[in-house]
Structure 1
Amino acid sequence: MRRSVSAGSSRRDLSRRATEAEWMDSVPVSPEDFAACLADLETVNRLTRATAPTLAFLDRLTAGWPDGAELRLVDAGSGQGEMLRAIHGWAVRRGLRPRLVGVDLNPQSALAARAATPGAMAISWVTADILDYRPATAPHAITSALFTHHLEDGALVRFLRWMEETASDGWFVNDLHRHAFAYYGFQLLSAVAGWHRFVRHDGPLSVARAFVREDWERLLAQAGIGRAEIGWHLPFRLCVTRLKGAA
């Protein structure tokens, strides 16, 4: 029988995805505490250059698009919205007209995102289960960052199919590589940095719930998606790219 190992344990079986729930998904918390946790997560993402793979995907997606073209994009599991704010800034610099939507199941996420986002940015915040979300107009692209590891395999296969059916031009999954260095290294870094208790608990568990290439190959096959790229990005990001115009 496989022994259960807690997120804070010194030993962890990383041969398969962990199944324990992260505190952010299961423990009630005040809006103030939630906002403090999201602020520390934003610091983590900034230090680990979390936006770089997603912006590189968008460079590829929009190659050849004319100045002034509209970019309709949905971000799944948008949290406090730092990814969408980065995408908005990138799109403006690129000469595009961003029309961005962040979808998150937790209503506190939309509150935190609105508070952190300048009103001039063309970003809407929706509280919904992403699998139930039906945009009135098909987005060109769907992105997610550090979202898919929260899903069990069955829901993740449905999410892959939903993106494939919903996005007109392509989609991108930006998530973690399940690896011992990332798992134990984050434990040390978060303890030294003194980040929010949820970040210290959930960060290593996020790595344990994350993926290796074989996981993505299996999940994509189950979803019936044959033309997707799986790529590694520094530091310990394992991302999936689907460009519908690609041969």
Structure 2
Amino acid sequence: MFKSFKQRASTKELMDDFTTGGPELRTALRHLRRLNRIFGAAAPTLYGVQRLWIEADKPRRFSILDIGAGAGDVNAHILRWADRNGVDLRITLADITEEACEEARLLFRNEPRVHVMRSDLFELAEGCADVVTGTQFVHHFAARELSGVVESMLKASRWGVVINDIHRHWIPWAAVWMTTRMISSNKYILNDGPLSVAKGFRAEDWKRLGEALGCSDLFYAWRPLFRYVAVVRKSGLNTVHRS
């Protein structure tokens, strides 16, 4: 098992098969919200957003586009942060599946600051948001695709990109394996939960991504619970930083 975590898993998740879905996928998205709460999924994204906000001199108004958002539940924490800091924030939740968009519309039905749209990453308009975020999104792509994915996110942003994804390690794998079986019998959750950890990242993966991006400025840091946040600015030093 320990050897299997040296390299990212290449198996496709069930959620990546867009020929299936329906009620079982919507149930999975609701159960995923519970997992996100248990494992503190929102905090690394907020950490990265705050970093770009501070570098932009703390504007009182800005926008976020969350790509591959699913139900978009992590953004509830960002909205509360905006309330505390007096920030006029607008969030667009974008996902390729209608099931995810339906769940997001239901979750944020009373939140006028949130707009939901069905869209593919590679169809986003240039400069359509200040910050583009991806929470547990980029691990769905193979290593050879990652630089193109981040470049597309950068193109859609005005300030930069925040990536929040899972640390590939046996401890979070075991924790997710056990927790999914305690809270769900949904096939997507049981299969994709542990698999997403095996498809996650280590420090060397972020270093390689920074090198592949060339001139982009990539910062990455390990965050609780077994996650990485990576922040890529639209402009800046030609370096890769670790904290």
**Same fold judged by TM-score > 0.5?**
yes
Matched, 1:121 2:106: no
Partner SS for 2:62: strand
After superposition, the Cα gap between the structure-2 partners of 1:75 and 1:112, relative to the gap in structure 1 and judged at 3 Å, is same
Identity of aligned pairs, percent? 26
Matched, 1:65 2:58: yes
Equivalences for 1:1-247 in 2 at 5 Å?
13-26=4-17, 29-63=20-54, 64-66=57-59, 69-134=60-125, 138-244=128-234
Opposite residue 87 of structure 1, the aligned amino acid is I
User: What do you get for the CA RMSD once the two structures are aligned?
Assistant: 2.2
Partner SS for 1:242: strand
After superposition, the Cα gap between the structure-2 partners of 1:200 and 1:57, relative to the gap in structure 1 and judged at 3 Å, is same
Opposite residue 123 of structure 2, the aligned amino acid is D
Partner SS for 1:86: helix
Partner SS for 1:178: coil
Opposite residue 121 of structure 1, the aligned amino acid is P
Q: Is the 8 A contact 1:103 1:127 kept in 2?
A: yes
The structural deviation recorded for 1:20 is 0.8
Distance in 2 (alpha carbons) for counterparts of 1:186 and 1:152: 22
Partner SS for 1:229: strand
The structural deviation recorded for 1:118 is 2.9
Q: Structure 1, unaligned stretches of length 5 or more? A: 1-9
Q: How many residues align?
A: 235
After superposition, the Cα gap between the structure-2 partners of 1:226 and 1:170, relative to the gap in structure 1 and judged at 3 Å, is closer
Q: Is the 8 A contact 2:67 2:94 kept in 1?
A: yes
Q: Structure 2, unaligned stretches of length 5 or more? A: 238-243
The structural deviation recorded for 1:225 is 4.3
Distance in 1 (alpha carbons) for counterparts of 2:17 and 2:137: 15
Opposite residue 134 of structure 2, the aligned amino acid is S
TM-score by length of 2: 0.87
* Offset from partner CA, 1:21-44 (integer Å, 9 cap, x none): 111112755532222111110000
Q: Is the 8 A contact 1:78 1:84 kept in 2?
A: no
Distance in 2 (alpha carbons) for counterparts of 1:224 and 1:32: 42
TM-score by length of 1: 0.86
